Amino acid sequence: MSLPPEKASELKQLIHQQLSKMDVHGRIREILAETIREELAPDQQHLSTEDLIKALRRRGIIDDVMKELNFVTDSVEQELPSSPKQPICFDRQSTLKKTNIDPTRRYLYLQVLGGKAFLEHLQEPEPLPGQVCSTFTLCLHYRNQRFRSKPVPCACEPDFHDGFLLEVHRESLGDGTRMADSTTMLSISDPIHMVLIKTDIFGETTLVASYFLEWRSVLGSENGVTSLTVELMGVGTESKVSVGILNIKLEMYPPLNQTLSQEVVNTQLALERQKTAEKERLFLVYAKQWWREYLQIRPSHNSRLVKIFAQDENGVNRPVCSYVKPLRAGRLLDTPRQAARFVNVLGYERAPVIGGGGKQEQWCTLLAFLCRNKGDCEDHANLLCSLLLGYGLEAFVCVGTKAKGVPHAWVMTCGTDGTITFWESLTGHRYIHKPTNPDEPPVAEQPKPLYPYRTIGCVFNHQMFLGNCQPSDAVETCVFDLNDESKWKPMSEEAIKSVCAPGATTSLPPFPPLCASTIDASVTSNEIEMQLRLLVSEHRKDLGLTTVWEDQLSYLLSPALASYEFERTTSISAGNEEFQDAIRRAVPDGHTFKGFPIHFVYRNARRAFATCLRSPFCEEIICCRGDQVRLAVRVRVFTYPESACAVWIMFACKYRSVL
């Protein structure tokens, strides 16, 4: 496709400006001088153009230039609501480039203009070009819109320079299509939730900070533009410690015709805080009264796990019912069991604690959990319960204990026929609950529970909270007739609604939508497989063994991996007969076949290989000795929303049996 002369000249000018801004010419001169010094032999008169291009590519200059050049097309693409949006780019004069915006709607343009005082990274060396280093990523959520910044190297002054175009009015929220004025926007109390994630060189993520930005100060600023300095606090036990500062600029687009006085904005915010504080105070008074009544039923209730409040990552106490809300996954997940599988493949990690002294209490907001891609059992249970409620099931989070009295949370659904099903959010397993009757004679056969749960203290969802007041809190004898107040003491639904219903208080974090996966399953599967082949070959070489790979045998392992994932999702086994038949045909008479499947929820090949070697069965295959040994490995990555994935690996070998 040829460009008209004026367009070509405009494009050349843009590229020239970008190259000048990056000081590419200066960097090229330095590298060429260095290359000539290092690589030009005394007997050689000149370096070819190809040699110089190779040197520039090796130092990462060409990659840097290509990354910086953003090409914008004239075609208008509709963005799916479930895809994470990239930062919208503006130039230095804050003039909109070509982007999909409606000039009749109201937008807030949020710019992050660098960070400072991230003192934990004070000694961090400057990363070399092309060197892998730890990075910071900023994730935002505002009124059903999600954004993610470009990763920047961790430093004392991280180089954040991103812009996010947030739509203040959205038709999906019933705002209509009219242009919102300052007064209308002042009544929109949704905060901008910002989550800072650190990713280390191995791909492990850490939650650094979670911050709710009150953006409405811009409505009282001159020209609808304001700059803020946001101090980010740590999480969990470090929620009172500053981790760093972000410089933020807010700007309304189109510009406001009429701004409010700062006094009006401050008064509105103060009234909202006052109203929220009063609602929370009244709920606390009610919760104390409810707890006193619960203890009067039976003094032993004091030792039961009845959890009415839980601390979030910022150390704020919130009613547990506010952590759950019906959540629809759009077209990203099709069935409740697929939703359970998705929650299961999100990583499990207990809240970090400094020193000993037991488990650190920390329930995460949904955005922090999804952005970090891992969390504790309560985070998994809250998300699974929310998804099951979205599918129209009557779902509750259960709080109780597992074996040895370890506190635990899982999910329960109540069928219309009275069937009680437990869902273990960390494994995806489902269990049907059949209560045993302690009053039955000893000879009567009692159903043996298959689930790992021992006691249960309370159940809750977004509308209900019920404390277990049966004589025993053992799960196996528990009757889940939640309407029977002699067995389950309910909290007032009105009281719960006053602090947990959407929009009830301004302190409630809004629930973000799920985002589609950004991982290419085929490419990632190939990459991990190639890395594993290399690791196996090196390991066998160290043992003095040669390695011969058989591609056809590797390919034949694919149906088995697909079958394993299908079984995890649906609890139905399928396709095993065809796999066994293919393997029998591929292994000649007198030969032995061995296979070892294993499952991971991360994509680090070296870490997976180290884990595999700890299994004696897998080590036997990888270190196989014998006549005509042929090795095979197959990797299959199954992607889920939020870039979560299930990674199945199968190692196999066939060899001639010599007796």
For the cut 60, the answer to whether the pLDDT of residue 358 exceeds it is no
Confidence of residue 184 (pLDDT cuts 50, 70, 90): confident
For the cut 70, the answer to whether the pLDDT of residue 89 exceeds it is no
Q: What local confidence, expressed as pLDDT, does residue 243 receive? A: 93
CA 502 to each of CA 83, 190, 325, 388, 490: distance values in angstroms, whole numbers, following the listed order? 23, 11, 9, 18, 21
Q: What local confidence, expressed as pLDDT, does residue 35 receive? A: 67
State mean pLDDT over 212-233: 90
Q: What local confidence, expressed as pLDDT, does residue 32 receive? A: 67
State mean pLDDT over 537-564: 93
Q: What local confidence, expressed as pLDDT, does residue 47 receive? A: 64
Q: What local confidence, expressed as pLDDT, does residue 657 receive? A: 75
State mean pLDDT over 333-341: 94
For the cut 60, the answer to whether the pLDDT of residue 297 exceeds it is yes
Q: What local confidence, expressed as pLDDT, does residue 354 receive? A: 61
Residue 566 tokens read as 């299908």
Confidence of residue 182 (pLDDT cuts 50, 70, 90): confident
State mean pLDDT over 439-457: 75
Q: What local confidence, expressed as pLDDT, does residue 94 receive? A: 41
Name the range with the highest mean pLDDT among 267-271, 505-509, 573-577. Answer: 267-271
For the cut 60, the answer to whether the pLDDT of residue 99 exceeds it is no
> Within 10 A of 367 (CB to CB), how many other CB atoms are there?
20
Quick one: CA dihedral 314, 319, 320, 322, positive or negative?
A: negative
Name the range with the highest mean pLDDT among 176-180, 259-263, 328-332, 444-448. Answer: 328-332
Q: To the nearest whole percent, how much of the chain has pLDDT over 90?
A: 56
For the cut 70, the answer to whether the pLDDT of residue 87 exceeds it is no
Our CA angle for 184, 186, 190, nearest 5°, is: 105
Q: What local confidence, expressed as pLDDT, does residue 445 receive? A: 61
Q: What local confidence, expressed as pLDDT, does residue 626 receive? A: 86
Q: What local confidence, expressed as pLDDT, does residue 5 receive? A: 63
Average pLDDT taken over every residue of the chain: 85
Phi/psi of residue 507, nearest 5 degrees = -90, -5
For the cut 50, the answer to whether the pLDDT of residue 500 exceeds it is yes
Confidence of residue 307 (pLDDT cuts 50, 70, 90): very high
State mean pLDDT over 126-135: 78
State mean pLDDT over 638-655: 94
Q: What local confidence, expressed as pLDDT, does residue 6 receive? A: 62
Q: What local confidence, expressed as pLDDT, does residue 236 receive? A: 85
Q: What local confidence, expressed as pLDDT, does residue 80 receive? A: 42
For the cut 70, the answer to whether the pLDDT of residue 45 exceeds it is no
Q: Mapping DSSP to helix (H, G, I), strand (E, B) and coil, where does residue 288 land?
A: helix
For the cut 90, the answer to whether the pLDDT of residue 379 exceeds it is yes
Distance CA 63, CA 153 (A): 17
Residue 292 tokens read as 């006193």
| Among 421, 438, 439, residue whose Cα is nearest residue 477 | 438
The 3-class secondary structure across 382-440, one letter per residue, is: HHHHHHHHHCCCCEEEEEEECHHHCEEEEEEEECCCCCEEEECCCCCCEEEECCCCCCC
Q: What local confidence, expressed as pLDDT, does residue 10 receive? A: 65
Q: What local confidence, expressed as pLDDT, does residue 63 receive? A: 67
For the cut 50, the answer to whether the pLDDT of residue 79 exceeds it is no
Q: What local confidence, expressed as pLDDT, does residue 215 receive? A: 93
| Among 318, 365, 379, residue whose Cα is nearest residue 211 | 365
Q: What local confidence, expressed as pLDDT, does residue 285 receive? A: 96
Q: What local confidence, expressed as pLDDT, does residue 76 receive? A: 33
For the cut 70, the answer to whether the pLDDT of residue 353 exceeds it is no
Q: What local confidence, expressed as pLDDT, does residue 222 receive? A: 81
Q: What local confidence, expressed as pLDDT, does residue 475 receive? A: 92
Taking only Cα atoms into account, the Rg of the chain, rounded to an integer number of angstroms, comes to: 29
For the cut 80, the answer to whether the pLDDT of residue 103 exceeds it is no
Distance CA 244, CA 194 (A): 13
State mean pLDDT over 132-141: 92
Higher-scoring residue by pLDDT: 375, 573: 375
